[in-house]
Structure 1
Amino acid sequence: MIVQTFLESRRHIFSSEEERNLNFQQSMRTSFQLNQRNERGFSKVEHASHHHQIPREGEREVTLRGKPGKAVKYGAEYARNNGIPVILFPKAKDESNGLSPSDVVDTLRKFEVDFILLAGYLKLIPAELIRAYQKSILNIHPSLLPAFGGMGYYGMKVHKAVIASGARFSGPTIHFVDEHYDTGRILAQRLVPVLANDTAEELATRVLNEEHQLYVEVVEAVCEDRVVWRKDGVPLIQIKENPNEFR
């Protein structure tokens, strides 16, 4: 049977086509949500998939795509080529097959999706989806939140603001998603030094490299039940080699 709760899940993702033949009754089913504004967003998914950096058992069940664009088109095409269903959200005015928020919840439940991973998706997640998937939606942001986060902080704008501020460090943050921009509980961060003569593009490249690694490590921890919640509501990741230590 499909495990229903976050901490009881022993299910993994990013399987190859060959691995899809495994026993998915014990695999985590995961949805990816893409947006056209971040052309690198889907590369996080592809990078992990191609390099087998996630535990082998698992299943990507459905990809939600945003408005048409290069990254979204590529991500949707990649999903379809690997037998992963693609659905359209949010509903566009000129497309009749898009889903409403309540439709998305119903569809994800139909596919028995357990977690949602956002990759370059910049819109607020509807309240219906937040309520249905509490502590089960992850997003990655290219700065050390809570600094340089919130509405309007995305892509190169973040890196330009970091450099202009004189901050000595930046880096990606992975956080759980709530009803607001970039205010959900922080799960993991990775430090990236800001060099004296950095351009926004140079900093962005180094941050992106860390994003690829960090997202994979965090999802692995989620799949291995190594995310625990402190009494004050702060999520921590157990160290794989020593469950009594956290990061």
Structure 2
Amino acid sequence: MIAQTNLSGFCSNPKNLHFPPQSSPSFIRSPQIVSFKSISNPTIPINVSSKRLLQCSSISQSSDVFPSDVDESAGGLRRKKLAVFVSGGGSNFRSIYEATVNGLVHGDVVVLVTNKPGCGGAEYARDKGIPVILFPKPKESISEDDLVDTLRRYEIDFIILAGYLKLIPTELIRAYPRSILNIHPSLLPAFGGKGFYGMKVHNAVIKSGARFSGPTVHYVDEHYDTGRILAQSVVPVLADDTADKLAARVLHKEHEMYVDVVAAICEERVIWRADGVPIIRSKNNPDEYC
């Protein structure tokens, strides 16, 4: 059943749902080591005990990039700070960034991490005045702890993977529990795992004879595409489909659904059932879940 938003799942008032007392929206507050607003040096030291640096683009301090932290229209919630990871064109990153600017997402993209500094996503970030961090950095021994320290200096709340093709370090997953999301272009757990990305996924779906596909947003763990599923959206596989045609339809759903999910986490509407499954509370009716 398709929910009223772009999330596939259920929106109901389930009387038999019981959440543990410690359940809370899926977010963490990073240690406030360095305020992002106070940074003016374009080169950010990432480890006070090390001379190694991650090179960042110049950091804009315009009010467009840094709106007020607290919005009364959003119930007094603090705007969340997002780090987006990309390796390619970054179309999902662009959709999310535009949604933050247009007020659809109660958060801000404050830094972009990439392993390909010349990719389209990185160029777009620079055009918008968003700092770009290169990780991993070729020919230099920059540790995972250095990356964690850098993100904490930016006071990052959530990490959003948008076509980042490197396996996320265990150190980062431990530092940001239940706070790293990825989007995959198939209905996981089908057609996921190492080697399944991009057009390889869509070719495999068509060759399998599957009648349905679609994107999945899931939490990130130590392995490829095995984290807890948060949202899915169904796309039919047509009889005369090619991988290119299917990819275009799935990508359109990705742009819609990922924005909806990021909006939900920034509004603290993700809760965890007693069995460890994350679900999204409806924005319009807090007694319904999507």
Specify the TM-score bucket, using the shorter chain as the normaliser: 0.7 to 0.9
* 1:92 aligns with one of 138, 150, 155: 138
User: Which residue pairs with 2:275 in the alignment?
Assistant: 232
User: Which residue pairs with 1:175 in the alignment?
Assistant: 218
* Length-normalised TM-score, structure 1: 0.85
The correspondence of residues 73-92 of structure 1 with structure 2, limited to 5 A, is 74-92=120-138
Structure 1 counterpart of 2:68, which letter? N
- 1:122 CA drift (Å): 1.7
State the alpha-carbon separation in 2 of the partners of residues 161 and 54 from structure 1.
Answer: 37
State the alpha-carbon separation in 2 of the partners of residues 209 and 146 from structure 1.
Answer: 21
User: Which residue pairs with 2:242 in the alignment?
Assistant: 199
Structure 2 counterpart of 1:75, which letter? G
Percentage of matched positions with identical amino acids: 58
Cα pair 2:106 2:267 within 8 Å, conserved = no
State the alpha-carbon separation in 2 of the partners of residues 194 and 226 from structure 1.
Answer: 31
State the alpha-carbon separation in 1 of the partners of residues 142 and 173 from structure 2.
Answer: 16
| Structure 1 residues 53 and 228: CA distance shift in structure 2, 3 A | farther
- 1:76 CA drift (Å): 1.9
* 2:97 aligns with one of 49, 52, 56: 49
User: Which residue pairs with 1:154 in the alignment?
Assistant: 197
Cα pair 2:27 2:178 within 8 Å, conserved = no
User: Which residue pairs with 1:33 in the alignment?
Assistant: 85
| Structure 1 residues 148 and 78: CA distance shift in structure 2, 3 A | same
| Structure 1 residues 132 and 201: CA distance shift in structure 2, 3 A | same
| Structure 1 residues 137 and 84: CA distance shift in structure 2, 3 A | same
Q: Which has the higher contact order (CA 8 A, sep 6+)?
A: 2
State the alpha-carbon separation in 2 of the partners of residues 21 and 153 from structure 1.
Answer: 37
Cα pair 1:19 1:58 within 8 Å, conserved = no
Cα pair 2:87 2:121 within 8 Å, conserved = no
State the alpha-carbon separation in 1 of the partners of residues 111 and 96 from structure 2.
Answer: 17
Structure 2 unaligned blocks of 5 or more: 1-24, 30-61, 71-77
- 1:221 CA drift (Å): 0.7
- 1:169 CA drift (Å): 0.3
Instruction: Report which stretch shifted further, 74-83 or 218-227.
Output: 74-83
Cα offsets for 1:63-84 (capped at 9, x unmatched): 1111345xx2x22222223222
State the alpha-carbon separation in 1 of the partners of residues 223 and 250 from structure 2.
Answer: 23
| Structure 1 residues 246 and 101: CA distance shift in structure 2, 3 A | same
- 1:242 CA drift (Å): 1.5
Kindly indicate which of the two structures has a greater share of residues assigned to helix: 1
- 1:6 CA drift (Å): 3.8
Aligned residues, how many? Answer: 226
RMSD (CA atoms): 2.0
State the alpha-carbon separation in 2 of the partners of residues 8 and 30 from structure 1.
Answer: 12
- 1:53 CA drift (Å): 5.8
Cα offsets for 1:180-235 (capped at 9, x unmatched): 00000000000000001101110000000000000000001111111110001100
Structure 2 counterpart of 1:221, which letter? A
Larger radius of gyration: 2
| Structure 1 residues 142 and 56: CA distance shift in structure 2, 3 A | closer
* 2:186 aligns with one of 143, 162, 168: 143
Cα pair 2:66 2:108 within 8 Å, conserved = no
* Length-normalised TM-score, structure 2: 0.73
State the alpha-carbon separation in 2 of the partners of residues 47 and 214 from structure 1.
Answer: 10
User: Which residue pairs with 1:187 in the alignment?
Assistant: 230
Structure 2 counterpart of 1:61, which letter? V
State the alpha-carbon separation in 2 of the partners of residues 82 and 225 from structure 1.
Answer: 26
User: Which residue pairs with 1:220 in the alignment?
Assistant: 263
